Chain A
Amino acid sequence: MRNKKITIALAGNPNSGKSTIFNNLTGAHQHVGNYPGVTVEKKEGKASFKDYEINVVDLPGTYSLSAYSEDEIVARDFIIKEKPDLIVHIVDSSNLERNLYLATQFMELEIPLVLAMNMSDIAEKKGQDMDYTKLSELLGVAIVPTIGNKNIGTKELLETITKVYEGKIKTKTAHISYGPEIREEMDKLEKIVKKDKALVDQYPWRWLIVKMLENDSSVLDIVGKSSIAQEAISQNEKSRHHLHLHFGDIPETIIAGRRYGFISDVCTEALKPSIKKRHDLSDRIDKVILNRILGIPIFVLVMYAIFKFTFTFSEPVVGWLEKFFEWLSEIAATYIPEGLFQSFVVDGLIGGVGGVLGFFPLVLFMFFAIAFFEDSGYMARAAFVMDKLMSKFGLHGKSFLPMMISTNGCAVPGIMATRTLENKKDRLITMMVTPFMICGAKLPIFALFIGAFFPAKYGANIMFLMYVLSVVIAFASAWLLKKFVFKGETAHFVMELPPYRIPTLKGLLLKMWERGWMYIRKAGTIILLLSIIIWAGFTFPQNTSLEEKGMSEEETAAVQLEQSYAGKAGKIIEPLVRPIGLDGRSGIALIAGIAAKEVVVSTLGTIYSLGEVDPEEPESLREKMQADHSWNPLKAVAFLIFCLIYLPCIAATAVFYRESGSQIKWLLFLIFWTTVLAWGSSFIVYQGGRLLGFGG
């Protein structure tokens, strides 16, 4: 049997059930990547049918193919540049007219189109009686009814795809009639555009001229670089001006109106509408969830549920992993002779891999919980409920979740959770401020310092103030970032509220795995590499003469630490941390804290010659620090504020780098922003405190 390979693109509106159809078509044979240079995910999978191997590319869900969002540009560039053999457009049949708007745009691209009329059961329940044959005739495209969540129609869809590809189903895509006035202007542009043979070989001419009239910036760029640039652009300006005068509205609105008009005509002919149910279950649920009094408590409850689910269920798994890596370390320590190589394997390699995998259960459980609320339709409402409050600070309603996941939790899944935000600017701002929250790893530092320098009765109050401070810093940063860095038109809050649905387990698991695997694939290697670099920084240069001088193991460790590259770096930055009340030793601890925040505590342990200090039980270290007169409560507060704000740990930084589109500029900005903010805040608190007579 010959294996014929074809590539199809899967397109459709958000909430059209596209990913379910994708899963049905490809099963487990899928992989996720990114489109080059953008944060948009590229999902691909393989389907086998008869003697075909079908490569299915899942395009981002879009409402249109304009040039306004990254998703739309990606979807459209893929179709125009990669020229798939066929486009399968997943249509939510229960929301026909709006969904067909996208179809009218595909129809201009001159690539064979198949419409999968998904959720046909829901449409029927709504009382929609559809004549598919008629609809197919009117649109001039092949149509297959499907019910994605019941896996109905998958085989028929594959059958139709191959038949359309083979030419056994002949279709002639209908052209929308834009009316005589627009048609006249299109004719003028057509004559000009067709003079450039290379241009119309590469792009469908009809699509080019319609998009020109719609003032589409990227099409105007394409035409602007062609040989007929001047003539085409000046004709287009004349035509647009003429149409604007004639209709009294901008041509893009008129063209969109004609498309909707065409759809409306088609639907009237192919649909036999019966009695429509006015109030469905979704409406009743929305009355509660969108209620102005109940909305926010419900929202907080759901967010708390996600948080609780993530950390409660992942805890035992994280525990097993920790035990496993401890066991592995012991094995390595037994079989590898003591020395540099053992240290590399145990502390560098196993420690690094353990660090990467330690986050994995968290990420998986969180994405499962998020997927549940996304697929059920709640997340869209959540954004809506919080939008009023969050938008005051330049954040999005959905920014709340990453910040919540990070508080007492972890910024790594927190940053990953920004994937639920569609707008790039909102995502970047949220990613930048999420690490400011007090994550679980920062807690031991706070416990140590508060325990050492403040009476027990104030402990809880100071901790509470630190939480308040973290929220204030995060929101103030978001506001500043929006005002000065991510300026421009705020993303208008327009969001479809899909009907509530019961998610399928398969869908949830696939979504969880796909996003979780992204963490390992994209951030895992970077985290491992950086862990090893940090290990090397603390291990070299080796000083073997120490033990001979009769020093104890703990003292040796302290001297070794101070003489290592990282220790020397701590000394070098001493003049920089002196104005915020710290010395070289705190400097070393802060540098070590970049590996992981709780390492600040264990490093201080080493500095105070205590050997290994368990961050969870630092009594001995607390006493040592209390006895050290170079510390005082004011310095402790300055140190804590610095810890609260400065550079996130390497795992969070690596995830940030990957999730922000792997652009050095955002990474540098994060480093600069967090460092300056941390130093400035500590400086104000420390120097201000001194002026007021606290400390000494």
Chain B
Amino acid sequence: MHKLTQARTGLNLIFISVEGGRGAVQRLTDMGLIPGERLKVLHNSGDGPVTVLIKGAKVALGHGLAAKIIVEEE
């Protein structure tokens, strides 16, 4: 288990949780990110935003939010 910001580009991950406020949880849920959901890191430069593939759609996550997302390697 580690933070999404630590995940390398190209990795397939499983979403575990987000340590954010209600708003952040809701936004992620709307995008299809619920615990157990698969996602793929499309682009992560390490210090900027992270782009991921969720349910076939590309989603960009700000660095701040990505740092609060806990994932597990598939």
Contacts and interface: CB of A to CB of B under 8 A. Distances in A.
Q: Is the interface of B mostly helix, strand, loop or mixed?
A: mixed
A64 interface: yes
- Closest A-B pairs by Cβ, 9 of them: A493-B62, A63-B30, A497-B58, A64-B30, A492-B65, A384-B60, A256-B29, A98-B32, A97-B55
Interface string B38-63: 00001101011101001111111111
A393 B36 CA distance: 35
A493 B49 contact: yes
A257 B55 contact: no
B48 A256 contact: no
Given A64-B29, A260-B32, A497-B51, A492 B24 contact: yes
A492 B37 CA distance: 20
Contact of A101 (B24, B30, B65): B30
27 contacts: A63-B30, A95-B56, A98-B32, A249-B35, A253-B29, A257-B34, A282-B58, A286-B42, A286-B43, A292-B45, A381-B60, A384-B60, A388-B47, A388-B48, A489-B21, A490-B64, A492-B61, A492-B62, A492-B64, A493-B49, A493-B64, A493-B65, A494-B24, A494-B59, A494-B62, A496-B31, A498-B58
Nearest to A97: B55
B31 A98 contact: yes
A298 to B, nearest CB: 15
B26 interface: yes
A3 to B, nearest CB: 39
A409 to B, nearest CB: 28
Given A494-B62, A497-B59, A257 B30 contact: no
A180 B48 CA distance: 43
Interface string A480-492: 0000000001101
Nearest to A216: B26
Nearest to A15: B57
Interface of B: 20-32, 34-37, 42-43, 45, 47-49, 51, 54-65
Given A98-B32, A290-B43, A492-B27, 6 more contacts: A64-B26, A98-B31, A286-B58, A384-B60, A496-B59, A497-B59
A387 interface: yes
A384 B51 contact: yes
Contacts of A98: 31-32, 54-57
A489 B54 CA distance: 24
Nearest to B28: A494
A182 to B, nearest CB: 15
A663 interface: no
Interface of A: 63-64, 66, 68, 94-98, 101, 215, 249-250, 252-253, 256-257, 260, 282-283, 286, 290, 292, 380-381, 384, 387-388, 391, 489-490, 492-499
Contacts of B23: 68, 489, 492
A660 B10 CA distance: 42
A384 B57 contact: no
Contacts of A257: 34-36
B21 A101 contact: no
Contact of B27 (A97, A494, A498): A494
A292 B21 CA distance: 29
Contact of B34 (A64, A253, A282): A253
Given A68-B27, A257-B34, A391-B62, A492 B20 contact: yes
A256 B51 contact: no
A215 B21 CA distance: 14
Contact of A493 (B22, B26, B37, B61): B61
Contact of B26 (A68, A286, A384): A68
A253 B58 CA distance: 22
- Determine which residue in A249, A292, A495 has the highest number of CB atoms from chain B within 10 A of its CB, and name it: A495
Given A260-B32, A384-B49, A252 B60 contact: no
Nearest to B17: A249
Contacts of B34: 253, 256-257, 260
Contacts of B47: 388
B65 A494 contact: yes
Nearest to B57: A95
- Determine which residue in B24, B25, B27, B36 has the highest number of CB atoms from chain A within 10 A of its CB, and name it: B27
